[in-house]
Structure 1
Amino acid sequence: MVTYLVAILCVIGLAVGQILFKISANAAHAGGSFLAVKPLSALFGAMCLYGLTSLAWVWVLQRTQLGKVYPLMALAFLLVPVGSHFIFGERFQTQYVFGVVFIMIGVILTSNA
Structure 2
Amino acid sequence: MNATKILLALLTILALSTGQILFKISAAQIDFRLDRLIPSLLNQTLIIALVIYGVATFLWLAVLKTTPLSVAYAFTSLAFFLVPILSSVFLHEALKARTFVGAIFIVCGVYISLSA
Task: Provide the residue aligned with 1:99 in structure 2.
Answer: 102
Q: Secondary structure at the match of 2:94?
A: coil
Give structure 1 stretches of 5+ with no counterpart.
Answer: none
The normalised TM-score by structure 1 is: 0.85
Which of 62, 69, 72 aligns to 1:69? It is 72
Q: Deviations over 1:21-48 (max 9, x none)?
A: 011012337xxx66358x7111111111
Tell me how far 1:102 sits from its aligned partner: 1.1
Task: Provide the residue aligned with 2:83 in structure 1.
Answer: 80
Task: Provide the residue aligned with 2:18 in structure 1.
Answer: 16
User: Alpha carbon RMSD of aligned pairs, Å?
Assistant: 1.9
Q: Deviations over 1:70-93 (max 9, x none)?
A: 101111011110000011110133
1-structure distance, mates of 2:6, 2:68: 11
The more displaced of 14-23 and 89-98 is: 89-98
Which of 2, 5, 11 aligns to 1:3? It is 5
2-structure distance, mates of 1:83, 1:92: 10
Task: Provide the residue aligned with 2:62 in structure 1.
Answer: 59
Aligned residues: 109
2-structure distance, mates of 1:28, 1:36: 5
Task: Provide the residue aligned with 2:51 in structure 1.
Answer: 48
Q: Secondary structure at the match of 1:90?
A: coil
- What is the percent sequence identity of the aligned residues? 34
Q: Deviations over 1:1-22 (max 9, x none)?
A: 2121111100100000001101
More helix by share: 1
In the TM superposition, structure 1's runs of 4+ consecutive aligned residues that sit over 4 Å from their partners are none
